[in-house]
Amino acid sequence: MTDLPVLAKYPFLKESKNYVKENEISIDELLNDSIYERARLIGIERLDNAFNKRDVGNRALATDYDCIMELLSYPIARMITVCIGDIYFKRSYALSEAVHSYNYLINESTSNLIKISDEFKFNIKYDKNNKKFLIYFTDYLKNAPTRYSQWKMINRVMENGYISLSSKDFTRIIQEALRSRINNELDTRKCSKIINESFKSDIIRLSKLIEKHRKKIEIEPMGSLDENKLPPCMKEILKSIQSGENVPHMGRFAMVAFLNSLKLNTSEILQLFSTAPDFEEEKSRYQVEHISGKTSSTSYTSPGCDKMRSYGICPTEKMDELCKRYRHPLTYYKVKWRNK
Ligand code: SF4
Protein backbone atom coordinates (compact mmCIF):
# COMPACT_ATOMS: atom_id res chain seq x y z
CA MET A 1 0.00 0.00 0.00
CA THR A 2 1.13 3.57 -0.70
CA ASP A 3 2.23 5.48 2.44
CA LEU A 4 -0.54 7.11 4.45
CA PRO A 5 0.93 10.64 4.09
CA VAL A 6 0.82 10.22 0.29
CA LEU A 7 -2.82 9.14 0.44
CA ALA A 8 -3.61 12.08 2.70
CA LYS A 9 -1.92 14.56 0.38
CA TYR A 10 -3.56 13.06 -2.71
CA PRO A 11 -6.94 11.75 -1.57
CA PHE A 12 -8.15 11.59 -5.20
CA LEU A 13 -5.88 8.56 -5.88
CA LYS A 14 -7.43 5.14 -6.43
CA GLU A 15 -5.31 3.83 -3.52
CA SER A 16 -6.97 6.40 -1.26
CA LYS A 17 -10.42 5.11 -2.19
CA ASN A 18 -9.19 1.54 -1.71
CA TYR A 19 -7.96 2.44 1.76
CA VAL A 20 -11.50 3.36 2.80
CA LYS A 21 -12.86 0.16 1.22
CA GLU A 22 -10.22 -2.13 2.69
CA ASN A 23 -10.75 -0.70 6.16
CA GLU A 24 -14.49 -1.18 5.76
CA ILE A 25 -15.35 2.29 7.02
CA SER A 26 -19.08 2.60 6.54
CA ILE A 27 -20.83 5.86 5.71
CA ASP A 28 -22.74 5.52 8.98
CA GLU A 29 -19.48 5.36 10.98
CA LEU A 30 -18.00 8.22 9.01
CA LEU A 31 -20.98 10.43 9.77
CA ASN A 32 -21.76 9.42 13.32
CA ASP A 33 -18.83 7.75 15.08
CA SER A 34 -16.92 10.09 17.37
CA ILE A 35 -13.63 8.56 16.10
CA TYR A 36 -14.26 10.33 12.80
CA GLU A 37 -15.36 13.66 14.20
CA ARG A 38 -12.04 15.24 13.21
CA ALA A 39 -12.52 14.06 9.61
CA ARG A 40 -15.96 15.68 9.55
CA LEU A 41 -14.56 18.95 10.89
CA ILE A 42 -11.76 18.96 8.34
CA GLY A 43 -14.33 18.22 5.61
CA ILE A 44 -16.12 21.47 6.53
CA GLU A 45 -12.79 23.28 6.85
CA ARG A 46 -11.89 22.23 3.28
CA LEU A 47 -15.10 23.88 2.06
CA ASP A 48 -14.67 27.09 4.05
CA ASN A 49 -11.12 27.38 2.77
CA ALA A 50 -12.26 26.70 -0.80
CA PHE A 51 -14.77 29.53 -0.50
CA ASN A 52 -12.44 32.01 1.21
CA LYS A 53 -8.93 31.11 0.04
CA ARG A 54 -9.19 29.11 -3.19
CA ASP A 55 -7.18 26.31 -1.58
CA VAL A 56 -8.65 23.67 0.72
CA GLY A 57 -5.84 24.33 3.21
CA ASN A 58 -2.94 22.50 4.85
CA ARG A 59 -3.08 20.62 8.11
CA ALA A 60 -0.42 18.70 10.01
CA LEU A 61 0.17 15.19 8.68
CA ALA A 62 2.52 14.14 11.45
CA THR A 63 0.79 10.97 12.64
CA ASP A 64 -1.19 8.14 11.06
CA TYR A 65 -4.26 9.57 12.79
CA ASP A 66 -3.69 13.00 11.13
CA CYS A 67 -3.32 11.33 7.74
CA ILE A 68 -6.40 9.14 8.07
CA MET A 69 -8.56 12.09 9.15
CA GLU A 70 -7.23 14.19 6.28
CA LEU A 71 -7.89 11.41 3.79
CA LEU A 72 -11.44 10.81 5.02
CA SER A 73 -12.27 14.50 5.04
CA TYR A 74 -12.02 14.56 1.24
CA PRO A 75 -15.05 12.37 0.40
CA ILE A 76 -16.99 14.20 3.12
CA ALA A 77 -16.23 17.62 1.58
CA ARG A 78 -17.18 16.35 -1.89
CA MET A 79 -20.48 14.88 -0.72
CA ILE A 80 -21.41 18.14 1.02
CA THR A 81 -20.49 20.12 -2.11
CA VAL A 82 -22.87 17.97 -4.15
CA CYS A 83 -25.64 18.71 -1.64
CA ILE A 84 -24.94 22.46 -1.73
CA GLY A 85 -25.50 22.05 -5.45
CA ASP A 86 -24.36 25.52 -6.52
CA ILE A 87 -22.39 25.50 -9.78
CA TYR A 88 -20.14 28.41 -8.79
CA PHE A 89 -19.28 26.69 -5.52
CA LYS A 90 -18.68 23.34 -7.23
CA ARG A 91 -16.21 25.01 -9.60
CA SER A 92 -14.49 26.88 -6.74
CA TYR A 93 -14.20 23.73 -4.70
CA ALA A 94 -12.80 21.65 -7.60
CA LEU A 95 -10.27 24.38 -8.33
CA SER A 96 -9.27 24.61 -4.66
CA GLU A 97 -8.67 20.85 -4.41
CA ALA A 98 -6.64 20.94 -7.63
CA VAL A 99 -4.57 23.94 -6.47
CA HIS A 100 -3.98 22.22 -3.12
CA SER A 101 -2.65 19.10 -4.85
CA TYR A 102 -0.52 21.23 -7.19
CA ASN A 103 1.19 22.81 -4.18
CA TYR A 104 2.20 19.35 -2.96
CA LEU A 105 3.01 17.98 -6.42
CA ILE A 106 5.36 20.80 -7.30
CA ASN A 107 7.78 19.46 -4.62
CA GLU A 108 7.56 15.80 -5.66
CA SER A 109 10.40 13.86 -7.28
CA THR A 110 10.14 12.99 -10.97
CA SER A 111 9.36 9.35 -10.21
CA ASN A 112 6.56 10.31 -7.81
CA LEU A 113 5.10 12.73 -10.34
CA ILE A 114 5.03 9.96 -12.94
CA LYS A 115 3.43 7.56 -10.46
CA ILE A 116 0.73 10.04 -9.44
CA SER A 117 0.03 11.07 -13.04
CA ASP A 118 -0.70 7.38 -13.79
CA GLU A 119 -4.06 8.12 -12.23
CA PHE A 120 -5.03 10.08 -15.34
CA LYS A 121 -3.69 7.54 -17.87
CA PHE A 122 -1.69 10.13 -19.80
CA ASN A 123 0.42 8.92 -22.66
CA ILE A 124 3.80 10.25 -21.39
CA LYS A 125 7.52 9.55 -21.51
CA TYR A 126 10.39 11.06 -19.58
CA ASP A 127 13.40 12.48 -21.38
CA LYS A 128 16.21 11.90 -18.84
CA ASN A 129 18.83 13.78 -20.84
CA ASN A 130 16.88 17.01 -21.03
CA LYS A 131 14.91 16.44 -17.81
CA LYS A 132 11.64 16.98 -19.65
CA PHE A 133 8.26 15.29 -19.59
CA LEU A 134 6.93 14.32 -23.02
CA ILE A 135 3.16 14.18 -23.25
CA TYR A 136 1.19 13.01 -26.27
CA PHE A 137 -0.48 15.98 -27.94
CA THR A 138 -4.06 14.69 -27.49
CA ASP A 139 -3.54 14.50 -23.71
CA TYR A 140 -1.93 17.91 -23.83
CA LEU A 141 -4.85 19.45 -25.71
CA LYS A 142 -7.36 17.85 -23.38
CA ASN A 143 -5.74 19.20 -20.23
CA ALA A 144 -3.55 22.23 -20.94
CA PRO A 145 -5.07 25.61 -19.99
CA THR A 146 -4.85 26.72 -23.64
CA ARG A 147 -6.79 29.89 -22.85
CA TYR A 148 -3.38 31.29 -21.86
CA SER A 149 -1.05 32.09 -24.73
CA GLN A 150 2.01 30.25 -23.41
CA TRP A 151 -0.02 27.03 -23.46
CA LYS A 152 -1.13 27.28 -27.07
CA MET A 153 0.25 24.50 -29.28
CA ILE A 154 1.95 27.07 -31.47
CA ASN A 155 4.14 28.06 -28.52
CA ARG A 156 5.18 24.50 -27.70
CA VAL A 157 7.79 22.17 -29.13
CA MET A 158 6.31 18.94 -30.56
CA GLU A 159 8.24 15.94 -31.82
CA ASN A 160 6.62 12.75 -33.12
CA GLY A 161 3.34 13.78 -31.54
CA TYR A 162 4.85 14.43 -28.09
CA ILE A 163 5.07 17.85 -26.47
CA SER A 164 7.99 18.59 -24.22
CA LEU A 165 7.18 20.06 -20.80
CA SER A 166 9.13 21.20 -17.78
CA SER A 167 8.30 19.50 -14.50
CA LYS A 168 6.38 22.61 -13.41
CA ASP A 169 4.23 22.63 -16.56
CA PHE A 170 3.60 18.90 -16.29
CA THR A 171 2.43 19.46 -12.72
CA ARG A 172 0.02 22.12 -14.00
CA ILE A 173 -1.35 19.57 -16.51
CA ILE A 174 -2.07 17.23 -13.59
CA GLN A 175 -3.78 20.11 -11.76
CA GLU A 176 -6.05 20.78 -14.73
CA ALA A 177 -6.83 17.09 -15.22
CA LEU A 178 -7.74 16.79 -11.55
CA ARG A 179 -9.89 19.92 -11.63
CA SER A 180 -11.77 18.67 -14.65
CA ARG A 181 -12.24 15.21 -13.10
CA ILE A 182 -13.62 16.65 -9.85
CA ASN A 183 -15.92 18.99 -11.81
CA ASN A 184 -17.32 16.04 -13.77
CA GLU A 185 -17.77 13.94 -10.66
CA LEU A 186 -19.52 16.73 -8.77
CA ASP A 187 -21.84 17.33 -11.71
CA THR A 188 -22.86 13.68 -12.05
CA ARG A 189 -23.33 12.72 -8.38
CA LYS A 190 -26.65 13.13 -6.58
CA CYS A 191 -27.03 14.60 -3.12
CA SER A 192 -27.38 11.88 -0.50
CA LYS A 193 -30.21 12.35 2.01
CA ILE A 194 -28.04 11.24 4.93
CA ILE A 195 -25.37 13.81 4.06
CA ASN A 196 -28.01 16.50 3.66
CA GLU A 197 -29.37 15.72 7.11
CA SER A 198 -26.02 15.26 8.88
CA PHE A 199 -24.54 18.52 7.59
CA LYS A 200 -27.75 20.51 7.35
CA SER A 201 -26.54 23.55 9.31
CA ASP A 202 -23.26 23.81 7.38
CA ILE A 203 -25.03 23.33 4.05
CA ILE A 204 -27.43 26.16 4.93
CA ARG A 205 -24.61 28.36 6.24
CA LEU A 206 -22.45 27.88 3.13
CA SER A 207 -25.42 28.31 0.77
CA LYS A 208 -26.19 31.65 2.44
CA LEU A 209 -22.56 32.76 2.07
CA ILE A 210 -22.61 31.84 -1.62
CA GLU A 211 -25.86 33.70 -2.15
CA LYS A 212 -24.46 36.76 -0.38
CA HIS A 213 -21.34 36.61 -2.52
CA ARG A 214 -23.46 36.34 -5.68
CA LYS A 215 -25.53 39.38 -4.68
CA LYS A 216 -22.37 41.35 -3.97
CA ILE A 217 -21.09 40.55 -7.45
CA GLU A 218 -24.42 41.42 -9.03
CA ILE A 219 -24.67 44.85 -7.50
CA GLU A 220 -21.09 45.80 -8.26
CA PRO A 221 -21.01 48.41 -11.04
CA MET A 222 -20.19 46.89 -14.41
CA GLY A 223 -19.18 49.82 -16.56
CA SER A 224 -21.69 50.68 -19.21
CA LEU A 225 -22.69 47.08 -19.92
CA ASP A 226 -26.28 45.94 -19.45
CA GLU A 227 -26.05 42.17 -19.22
CA ASN A 228 -29.77 41.76 -19.83
CA LYS A 229 -29.33 43.11 -23.32
CA LEU A 230 -26.56 40.72 -24.32
CA PRO A 231 -27.30 38.35 -27.22
CA PRO A 232 -27.63 34.67 -26.26
CA CYS A 233 -24.09 33.83 -27.46
CA MET A 234 -22.41 36.45 -25.24
CA LYS A 235 -24.67 35.60 -22.30
CA GLU A 236 -23.57 31.96 -22.54
CA ILE A 237 -19.87 32.76 -22.89
CA LEU A 238 -19.91 35.27 -20.02
CA LYS A 239 -21.78 32.84 -17.77
CA SER A 240 -19.23 30.11 -18.49
CA ILE A 241 -16.25 32.41 -17.90
CA GLN A 242 -17.73 33.65 -14.63
CA SER A 243 -18.38 30.15 -13.33
CA GLY A 244 -14.88 28.97 -14.26
CA GLU A 245 -15.90 26.57 -17.04
CA ASN A 246 -13.40 25.86 -19.76
CA VAL A 247 -14.31 28.33 -22.52
CA PRO A 248 -12.66 27.73 -25.92
CA HIS A 249 -10.18 30.36 -27.00
CA MET A 250 -12.53 31.72 -29.70
CA GLY A 251 -15.26 32.22 -27.12
CA ARG A 252 -12.98 34.30 -24.91
CA PHE A 253 -11.69 36.20 -27.89
CA ALA A 254 -15.24 36.98 -29.15
CA MET A 255 -16.32 38.10 -25.67
CA VAL A 256 -13.37 40.47 -25.13
CA ALA A 257 -13.62 41.87 -28.67
CA PHE A 258 -17.36 42.41 -28.16
CA LEU A 259 -16.85 44.25 -24.85
CA ASN A 260 -14.02 46.24 -26.37
CA SER A 261 -16.33 47.32 -29.22
CA LEU A 262 -18.81 48.51 -26.58
CA LYS A 263 -15.98 50.71 -25.25
CA LEU A 264 -15.61 48.96 -21.92
CA ASN A 265 -12.10 49.61 -20.64
CA THR A 266 -9.67 46.92 -19.45
CA SER A 267 -10.64 47.27 -15.78
CA GLU A 268 -14.34 46.98 -16.56
CA ILE A 269 -13.74 43.85 -18.65
CA LEU A 270 -11.51 42.34 -15.96
CA GLN A 271 -14.14 43.12 -13.34
CA LEU A 272 -16.67 41.08 -15.31
CA PHE A 273 -14.27 38.12 -15.48
CA SER A 274 -13.04 38.44 -11.91
CA THR A 275 -15.84 36.35 -10.44
CA ALA A 276 -14.40 33.21 -12.09
CA PRO A 277 -12.94 30.84 -9.48
CA ASP A 278 -9.77 30.52 -11.60
CA PHE A 279 -9.42 34.22 -12.38
CA GLU A 280 -5.78 35.28 -12.78
CA GLU A 281 -5.64 39.02 -13.17
CA GLU A 282 -2.22 39.31 -14.76
CA LYS A 283 -2.89 36.75 -17.49
CA SER A 284 -6.39 38.03 -18.19
CA ARG A 285 -5.09 41.60 -18.42
CA TYR A 286 -2.49 40.50 -20.96
CA GLN A 287 -5.17 38.85 -23.13
CA VAL A 288 -7.60 41.76 -22.86
CA GLU A 289 -4.95 44.35 -23.68
CA HIS A 290 -3.75 42.30 -26.64
CA ILE A 291 -7.24 41.92 -28.13
CA SER A 292 -8.19 45.53 -27.46
CA GLY A 293 -5.04 46.76 -29.25
CA LYS A 294 -3.35 48.28 -26.20
CA THR A 295 -0.35 45.98 -26.46
CA SER A 296 -0.72 44.95 -30.11
CA SER A 297 -1.07 46.72 -33.41
CA THR A 298 -4.69 45.59 -33.92
CA SER A 299 -7.84 46.36 -32.01
CA TYR A 300 -9.91 43.28 -32.89
CA THR A 301 -13.61 43.59 -33.56
CA SER A 302 -16.13 41.07 -32.48
CA PRO A 303 -16.96 38.33 -35.05
CA GLY A 304 -20.33 38.39 -36.83
CA CYS A 305 -23.02 35.73 -36.45
CA ASP A 306 -21.79 33.66 -39.44
CA LYS A 307 -18.32 33.44 -37.96
CA MET A 308 -19.69 32.75 -34.47
CA ARG A 309 -21.67 29.84 -35.92
CA SER A 310 -18.66 28.48 -37.81
CA TYR A 311 -16.65 28.58 -34.54
CA GLY A 312 -19.45 26.66 -32.83
CA ILE A 313 -20.07 29.42 -30.26
CA CYS A 314 -23.53 30.53 -31.40
CA PRO A 315 -26.04 28.62 -29.26
CA THR A 316 -28.47 28.09 -32.16
CA GLU A 317 -31.12 26.54 -29.90
CA LYS A 318 -31.26 29.80 -27.93
CA MET A 319 -31.51 32.17 -30.91
CA ASP A 320 -34.42 34.57 -30.63
CA GLU A 321 -36.26 36.98 -32.95
CA LEU A 322 -33.46 39.59 -32.88
CA CYS A 323 -30.93 36.90 -33.76
CA LYS A 324 -32.97 36.06 -36.83
CA ARG A 325 -33.25 39.70 -37.86
CA TYR A 326 -29.64 40.85 -37.42
CA ARG A 327 -26.33 39.33 -38.40
CA HIS A 328 -24.02 40.62 -35.72
CA PRO A 329 -24.02 40.26 -31.90
CA LEU A 330 -23.10 43.96 -31.64
CA THR A 331 -26.12 45.01 -33.71
CA TYR A 332 -28.29 42.78 -31.54
CA TYR A 333 -27.02 44.53 -28.38
CA LYS A 334 -27.27 48.05 -29.82
CA VAL A 335 -30.84 47.51 -31.07
CA LYS A 336 -31.89 46.20 -27.66
CA TRP A 337 -30.11 49.10 -25.98
CA ARG A 338 -31.87 51.67 -28.18
CA ASN A 339 -35.25 50.03 -27.59
CA LYS A 340 -34.93 50.22 -23.81
S1 SF4 B 1 -27.38 34.52 -33.98
FE2 SF4 B 1 -25.72 35.94 -33.64
S3 SF4 B 1 -26.35 37.21 -31.96
FE4 SF4 B 1 -27.71 35.46 -31.97
S5 SF4 B 1 -26.74 34.01 -30.56
FE6 SF4 B 1 -25.99 33.52 -32.59
S7 SF4 B 1 -24.11 34.66 -32.81
FE8 SF4 B 1 -25.20 35.53 -31.10
pLDDT tens digits, residue range 281-299?
778 888 888 888 877 777 7
Q: Are residues 63 and 201 in the same domain?
A: yes
Q: Whose CA is nearest to atom 3 of ligand 1?
A: 329
Q: Which residue has the higher pLDDT, 140 or 272?
A: 140
Q: Is 185 a member of any domain?
A: no
Tell me how far the alpha carbon of residue 296 lies from the centroid of ligand 1, in angstroms.
27
User: 64-84 and 14-22 helices cross at what angle (nearest 10)?
Assistant: 100
Residue 141 lies in a domain: yes
Mean pLDDT confidence for 54-62: 93
| pLDDT for 9 | 96
- pTM across the whole model: 0.71
Q: Whose CA is nearest to atom 4 of ligand 1?
A: 323
- Ligand 1 centre and the CA of 332: distance in Å? 8
Which helix (H) or strand (E) covers residue 135, if one does? strand 132-136
Which atom of ligand 1 has the smallest separation from the CA of 313?
7
Is residue 104, in this structure, part of any structural domain at all? no
Is residue 184 in a domain?
no
Domain that holds residue 309: 223-338
Residues 91 and 141 grouped into a single domain? no
Is 218 among the domain residues? no
Q: What is the pLDDT of residue 242?
A: 84
**Of 228 and 126, which is predicted with more confidence?**
126
pLDDT band at 1 (very low <50, low <70, confident <90, very high): low
CA–centroid distance, 246 to ligand 1, in Å, is 20
Kindly tell me if the per-residue pLDDT of 32 is higher than 70: yes
pLDDT (0 to 100) of residue 28: 92
Question: Do 88 and 237 reside in the same domain of the chain?
Answer: no
Q: How does DSSP assign 49-112, residue by residue? A: HHHHHSS-------SHHHHHHHHHHHHHHHHHHHHH--HHHHHHHHHHHHHHHHHHHTTS-HHH
Residues 125, 259, single domain; the answer is no
Q: Is the CB of 47 under 6 A from ligand 1?
A: no
Q: What residues contact residue 249 under an 8 Å CB cut-off, 6+ apart? A: 146, 147, 152
Structural domain tally of the chain? 3
**Ligand 1 pocket, 332 CB below 6 A?**
yes
